[in-house]
Amino acid sequence: MGAVYFYHLTRKPLEATLPLLLSKARSAGWRCLVVGRNPQRLDALDTQLWQGAGTDFLAHGRAGGVQDAAQPILLADTQTDINDAECAMCIDGADVTPDQVKTYARTCILFDGNNEQEVQTARIQWKTLTDAGCAAQYWSEDSGTWTMKAKKD
């Protein structure tokens, strides 16, 4: 069974944090799925990831292409298992169920601390997922470095 990690973004935006987490996941050998609710945001992230140079470059694809199954990182607006991801990164309040958490080695929920709706959604997700028995960690960058503030096994 996988675990869910909540990342409370307060200092750096998603556009800065997501590539770092994707790079760490890829370094662990994981294929990744990025799930978001906003197609325009996913398109912008798609463009941003293609512009990375050298070690910042992250090979990926946008869901809906003929090579989806081969993508090491797939950006999608729905949960899918087409690229056999071991790590899911949910952004912009994307839905995630306990069953989905159990299918991945890790599920990351990234939420904007300056967006009250995303904060409330993350609180509901924490309660729903931990009540269902999912192991969870809550990470915050409010001190300038990532610190685990809560953990539930």
> Is the per-residue pLDDT at 136 higher than 90?
yes
pLDDT value at position 48? 86
Angle at CA 87, nearest 5°, toward 147 and 52? 80
User: Is residue 54 classed exposed, middle or buried when 0-12, 13-18 and 19+ CB atoms within 10 A define those classes?
Assistant: exposed
d(C-alpha 89, C-alpha 22), whole Å: 8
pLDDT bin (cut points 50, 70, 90) of residue 79 is: confident
pLDDT value at position 1? 67
Q: What is the DSSP letter of 37?
A: S
pTM confidence score:
0.93
Q: How far apart are the first and last CA of the chain?
A: 11
Nearest to 137 by CA among 149, 145, 128: 149
Average pLDDT of the chain is: 93
d(C-alpha 135, C-alpha 65), whole Å: 33
Q: pLDDT digits over 28-73, tens only?
A: 999 999 999 999 999 999 988 887 655 667 889 899 888 999 999 9
> Is the per-residue pLDDT at 6 higher than 80?
yes
> Is the per-residue pLDDT at 143 higher than 90?
no
pLDDT value at position 55? 61
d(C-alpha 36, C-alpha 41), whole Å: 8
| Full set of structural domains in the chain with CATH | 3-152 (3.40.50.10110)
pLDDT bin (cut points 50, 70, 90) of residue 80 is: confident
pLDDT value at position 53? 54
pLDDT value at position 54? 57
